[in-house]
Chain A
Amino acid sequence: DAKTTQPNSMESNEEEPVHLPCNHSTISGTDYIHWYRQLPSQGPEYVIHGLTSNVNNRMASLAIAEDRKSSTLILHRATLRDAAVYYCILRAVYNTDKLIFGTGTRLQVFP
């Protein structure tokens, strides 16, 4: 199963943009790139996903490199409620379709 690599932690100030990087150099052509976040004492929450093109939704944007070996989750204006652990995961939809979670990036947001 393809793996992802993320920094252990990042910091941001409120109202500033945050760029969370993820490397997935062994991604296969049918793997979707998923991002989830987990607030303390809660289950993971789906944020966004993409295959090849950049994606936007109300929560965030996802920028995918042309070779698909890396991606970046963009929070346009961080809020205190965005403090969480963010997981970048590859979903192999034509395999066993299980998500393999790494240790994620813990994002701290300062007022």
Chain B
Amino acid sequence: DVKVTQSSRYLVKRTGEKVFLECVQDMDHENMFWYRQDPGLGLRLIYFSYDVKMKEKGDIPEGYSVSREKKERFSLILESASTNQTSMYLCASIHKQGTGGGYTFGSGTRLTVV
């Protein structure tokens, strides 16, 4: 069964901490994405990547950075966590552009910043 695995289901961090959210996919997908989901706002795209070492800003990149050193792993970094970054974070992947197929999402990481 193909999978996108997010390293933590729940995380609690303190304001100002550096936070790493890890995502690994086993489908050899080129494209990977980080979204956050908040009540009433739906899913919003933070960053995405088309290939190793490549990254593109999404709609709400402020306060975040990403790393893609290997094809299967896409990490989201909160440089200095703040309470407004408390949210559900979702990772997704898909084969490269033009194939039309469906995205696979991870189960999500619920991050609370106190």
Chain A interfacial positions (CB closer than 8 Å to B): 32, 34, 36, 41-49, 51, 91, 93-94, 96-104
CB distance from B93 to the nearest CB of A (A): 11
Chain B interfacial positions (CB closer than 8 Å to A): 4, 31, 33, 35, 40, 42-45, 48, 50, 56, 58, 90, 92, 94, 97-108
* Contact (Cβ within 8 A) B102 A97: no
* Contact (Cβ within 8 A) A43 B108: yes
* Contact (Cβ within 8 A) B106 A34: no
Chain B positions within 8 Å of A43 at CB level: 4, 90, 92, 105-108
10 extra A-B contacts, CB within 8 A, seeds A42-B107, A91-B100, A97-B48: A34-B102, A36-B105, A43-B90, A43-B92, A44-B103, A47-B102, A93-B100, A94-B97, A101-B35, A102-B42
Main secondary structure of the interface of A (DSSP, over half): loop
